[in-house]
Amino acid sequence: MSTVDHPQVESSLEGLLKQVRPRLKTVFTRYRIPPQDTEDILQQALMALVYRKESIRDPEAWLVGTVRNKCLLYWREHRRKLYETVDAAVLEVVAGPVGPDQERAHLRHDLAQALERLPERCRSLLWMRYRQGYDPPELAERLGYSPSSIGKVTTRCLAALTRHLFASGICRRKTE
């Protein structure tokens, strides 16, 4: 449905946006959403508003709340991608040649130091994952976790490892 086909919807959205824009700007600032991504988040929220407008009593409050939730989802997705990147990089380092032998030795040493600073359960889990090649069901069985919870435990351990890698300067945040 195009708002051009329904001018009253377009004008009501424009009025709503004009009224709520200062609050939305505060939400985007509070959640530190990069300017290039704020418009996408707002577009998603507005599309949801248009599809659900019949059941929404207070469109302004609903829109602000929805944008707030979408900001949280934005950062969760960002974190998930970061952990997946670290996971893939660690697997690559321990799997084989990444560069010259000396560089690989330094990377392995730095990684071992970061792993040493983790709690015992994370050290065990990540050691078994990276050095011994266990997959999630095997990890769950060996470490006494339920198969449904091993993913969350692994993510928490990857998060802790990622924090240590950034804190020690081994990894640097990508700036775009």
Per residue in 85-97, pLDDT tens?
Answer: 888 777 776 666 5
Give CB contacts under 8 A, 24+ apart, made by 150-159. Answer: 153/121, 153/125, 154/125, 154/129, 155/80, 155/83, 156/122, 157/118, 157/121, 157/122, 157/125, 157/126, 158/83, 158/86, 158/87, 158/126, 159/79, 159/83
Same domain, 103 and 163: yes
Residue 36 covered by a domain: yes
Same domain, 64 and 102: no
57-61, 62-66, 102-106: segment of lowest average pLDDT: 102-106
> What are the pLDDT digits (tens) for 10-33?
668 888 999 999 999 999 999 999
Which pTM value belongs to this model?
0.63
Same domain, 150 and 100: yes
Burial of 158 (0-12, 13-18, 19+ CB in 10 A): buried
pLDDT, average across residues 133-137: 89
Same domain, 71 and 107: no
For residue 150, the enclosing domain spans 96-167
CATH, residue 127:
1.10.10.10
pLDDT score recorded for residue 65: 97
Same domain, 49 and 100: no
Residue 150 covered by a domain: yes
Same domain, 100 and 161: yes
Residue 82 covered by a domain: no
Q: What rounded mean pLDDT belongs to the chain? A: 84
| CA-based nearest residue to 165, from 127, 117, 103 | 117
21-30, 79-88, 121-130, 133-142: segment of lowest average pLDDT: 79-88
- Domain total for the chain? 2
pLDDT score recorded for residue 10: 61
Same domain, 56 and 108: no
pLDDT score recorded for residue 29: 96
Same domain, 65 and 101: no
